Structure 1
């Protein structure tokens, strides 16, 4: 579904990141945006065969420049996410299309709230074995490599800096992704690669969902 023409539009947008050029080329943008919408719907349809998906959102191409030194008005990529049905299912799948071998497939927890982060840390301090088994599994490692995301430089308040799971407890975000080349994104098996990555991350989401829907005694929070 993704073509060289779509990538070329994004390359041209990067070189002509101004409102005049964009307005002149808006029909081309709308054409490619329609392609991306169709792609996201197809991915959601596939995901819904194995997971409960609440819907998807494609991010606007317009940048919020209010607090940025970069005043370029437009993003140079298409991206969005697929949300699982809350409150029982947590985590979100992320898809990003950008030329220059910068396309991404992955997901995770980008901004867990204070209560969720505390609950995750409590669980990891109690026993991080299950999570380590998931993220250290050979197929998971081959797909995503390491965990990304912001983390504290020291132990969070109330946690021992010598905790065996301190490397995980310090995390403020839990993010996994793999990059794809332009050729991979344009290849006939692109959808298959996306779905394989999303299926691979499911055990991580299921672990987090189990943690965040129970209290520290393992009792369910939702009935």
Structure 2
């Protein structure tokens, strides 16, 4: 798989973020997208060796569109020059949480995991309740040397522990969070060797799996809101 071709196309799109250029270079887009789907196929197979729940996924069902919604943005660029995908037991839905990949030029690429969607108040409450009741397990996951080597838990957070939770709880800082996620940055140069990138990405995703598993246990009863 040619991960450098993916990055090269995205760099070109970033430099020519116009509808005319995009449509004039549809062939290059199709080639880059095919390589991205091949990468996702390989990731599914390799991740499936330690997380079989994701093996049923098809790459084309896991990706996100390049087109941006510019209605409420000052930036009217029509495209987001990034190939993105979320691999979980239910595809690209934000819950259950899974393995997120974004390839974007200029050092903006990353491998991610955890709960990014803090707009779902029920999900936030479920995770807070679970951390409050299972703080020691949370601490053990975050205290793992491999986890600490690669990750710091990120997320939007309140200034104070919300009402109903113990302010002196050992995990009080994490009870303030509304989302809990991980981001491992990937430099542009790392896409030069597709096989090396694949191997490293799988290793990173394997290290984050206990974190994802913990959140998914917390979110076991969560249901995505129905679209009206």
TM-score for both structures, normalised by structure 1? 0.86
SS of the counterpart of 1:84?
coil
Superposed displacement of residue 85, structure 1: 4.8
Unaligned runs of 5+ in 1: 215-223
* Separation of aligned partners in 2, 1:5 and 1:100: 15
* Separation of aligned partners in 1, 2:48 and 2:4: 29
1:72-221 to structure 2, matched below 5 A, reads 72-85=77-90, 90-111=96-117, 113-144=120-151, 146-187=152-193, 188-213=195-220
* Separation of aligned partners in 2, 1:210 and 1:11: 39
RMSD over equivalenced CA pairs, Å: 2.1
Deviations 1:127-155 (A, max 9, x none): 411111111211011122x1111111222
* Separation of aligned partners in 2, 1:127 and 1:149: 19
Deviations 1:61-96 (A, max 9, x none): 11111221111001111111101259xx93211011
Unaligned runs of 5+ in 2: 222-228
Equivalent residue number for residue 9 of structure 2: 9
SS of the counterpart of 2:66?
coil
The alpha-carbon distance between structure 1 residues 6 and 111, as it changes in their structure 2 partners (threshold 3 A), is: closer
Bigger fraction of residues in strand: 1
Equivalent residue number for residue 69 of structure 2: 64
1:32-51 to structure 2, matched below 5 A, reads 32-51=32-51
Report the count of equivalent residues: 211
SS of the counterpart of 2:62?
strand
SS of the counterpart of 1:189?
helix
Q: Contact conserved, 1:150 with 1:173, CA < 8 A, in 2?
A: yes
Superposed displacement of residue 177, structure 1: 1.6
* Separation of aligned partners in 1, 2:184 and 2:106: 14
* Separation of aligned partners in 2, 1:130 and 1:72: 44
Q: Contact conserved, 1:4 with 1:186, CA < 8 A, in 2?
A: yes
